[in-house]
């Protein structure tokens, strides 16, 4: 089978890029042909046989001409349409697997796939993995960055709310562009051509299903995670938070809970705009941003980890990674987080944003009992995931649900 993976970034940039690279490797290792289409970048590490990509877009440039040009290209990209056609003609894929494409590639790529499909008679399925809320919300988060409130005001096509709330980077101009982009493509009806939408949480699926165009196309498939050897490590007497130091991640709520529990040691690992907020608090030790073996050891030695998010998280890897390393999780009851924690077995939940509830749950958390349950295959690995993915590629949704 030939699969064309489409994503705006083709270099290591975040979770969606890790997703497409690992899936691509699995597909190639299992006898399939894989090519990629996206934006050019000096760090690009995957590609296609005709070596064609869209021009890199810099949204932080000071050039007024470039900013005006980019404004139009974020809504409709003639370049993306022309270039993906060259890849389609050369590669002739059986499946086009879309990931993040809005703004840099734009939904024009869908129009060109549909046009190519009609002209060639090729039965090429269009699969889309929803990594966020980009088809529902112009800022992709359902979260106002100015008020820190979760928001669904744009659902149903009410995109003027994005402008009123300055939801795209706090800018009215950028919010106008975001609202216009969402309005144009929803009015155009381009998303009806998606054959299947993969949602990484039931929560995201429920939000997507609000739109009748998506309702019969969505399929929940939680993200995969690499299974790791659970070496038995002596536990140390600290509670761990690892992730971004920001308001939407619930950091202020967690810091206030830490202040209520001066006899408990907390370790924070990460970076972000709220780094200074924890300074001077005796029972918080900030070790900074860690990755790899250092972070893994910190997780393994923790009594338990806390994930206090206050926005609509979908399928956070931090919650999954903690548990597969044998460390239970106390998570906020919001978004897709509750789907990843077996309450009373691998961890507990608390009311998101509620300092008192978080404080009480930390005090009463049965870490030793829950740790014993963080064993076995709690989540799909890439083999499990890609077997289900292949069912969707072949149009066998029922088999995917049963596997």
Summarised one tens digit per residue, pLDDT across range 266-292 is: 999 999 999 999 999 999 999 999 988
Are 113 and 88 a contacting pair, CB within 8 Å? yes
pTM of the model: 0.90
Q: Is the pLDDT of residue 39 over 60?
A: yes
Domains of the chain by range and CATH? 2-142+188-225+381-402 (3.40.50.2000), 143-187 (no CATH), 238-373 (3.40.50.2000)
pLDDT classification of 58: cutoffs 50, 70, 90? low
CA separation for the pair 9, 42 (Å, rounded): 11
Average pLDDT over the chain reads 92
CA torsion 333-334-337-339 (nearest 10°) is 80
User: In this predicted model, what pLDDT tens digit does every residue of 118-173 receive, in sequence order?
Assistant: 999 999 999 999 999 999 999 999 999 999 899 999 999 999 999 999 999 899 98
Listed range (48-62, 84-98, 100-114, 191-205) with the worst mean pLDDT: 48-62
CA separation for the pair 245, 53 (Å, rounded): 34
CA separation for the pair 67, 59 (Å, rounded): 7
- Residue 139: Cβ-neighbour burial (10 angstroms; 0-12, 13-18, 19+): buried
């Amino acid at each position: 089978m030939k699969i064309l993976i489409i994503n705006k970034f083709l270099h290591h940039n975040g979770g969606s890029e890790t997703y497409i690279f690992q899936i691509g490797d699995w597909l190639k290792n299992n006898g399939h042909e894989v090519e990629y289409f996206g934006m050019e970048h000096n760090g690009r590490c995957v590609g296609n046989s005709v070596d064609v990509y869209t021009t890199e877009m810099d949204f932080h440039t000071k050039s007024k001409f470039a900013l005006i040009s980019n404004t139009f290209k974020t809504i409709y990209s003639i370049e993306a349409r022309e270039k993906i056609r060259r890849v389609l003609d050369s590669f002739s894929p059986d499946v086009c697997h879309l990931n993040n494409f809005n703004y840099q590639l734009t939904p024009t790529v869908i129009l060109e796939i549909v046009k190519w499909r009609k002209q060639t008679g090729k039965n090429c399925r269009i699969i889309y993995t929803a990594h966020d809320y980009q088809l529902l919300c112009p800022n992709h988060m359902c979260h106002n960055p100015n008020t820190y409130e979760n928001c669904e005001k744009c659902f149903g096509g009410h995109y003027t709310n994005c402008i009123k709330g300055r939801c795209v980077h706090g800018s009215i101009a950028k919010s106008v562009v975001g609202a216009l982009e969402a309005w144009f493509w929803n009015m155009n009806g381009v998303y009806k051509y998606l054959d299947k939408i993969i949602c990484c949480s039931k929560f995201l699926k429920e939000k997507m299903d609000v739109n009748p165009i998506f309702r019969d196309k969505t399929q929940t498939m939680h993200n995969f995670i690499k299974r790791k050897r659970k070496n038995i490590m002596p536990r140390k007497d600290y509670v761990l938070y690892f992730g971004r130091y920001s308001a939407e991640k619930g950091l202020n709520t967690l810091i206030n809970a830490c202040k209520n529990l001066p006899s408990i040691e907390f370790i924070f690992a990460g970076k972000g705009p709220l780094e200074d907020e924890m300074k001077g608090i005796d029972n918080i030790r900030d070790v900074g941003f860690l990755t790899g073996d250092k972070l893994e050891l910190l997780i393994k030695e923790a009594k338990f980890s806390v994930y206090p998010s206050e926005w609509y998280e979908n399928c956070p890897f931090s919650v999954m990674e903690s548990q597969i390393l044998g460390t239970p999780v106390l998570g906020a009851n919001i978004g897709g987080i509750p789907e990843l924690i077996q309450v009373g077995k691998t961890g507990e939940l608390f009311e998101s944003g509620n300092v008192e509830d978080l404080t009480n749950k930390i005090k009463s958390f049965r870490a030793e009992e829950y740790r014993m349950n963080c064993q076995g295959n709690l989540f799909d690995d890439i083999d499990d995931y890609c077997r289900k993915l292949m069912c969707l590629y072949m149009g066998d949704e029922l088999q995917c649900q049963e596997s």
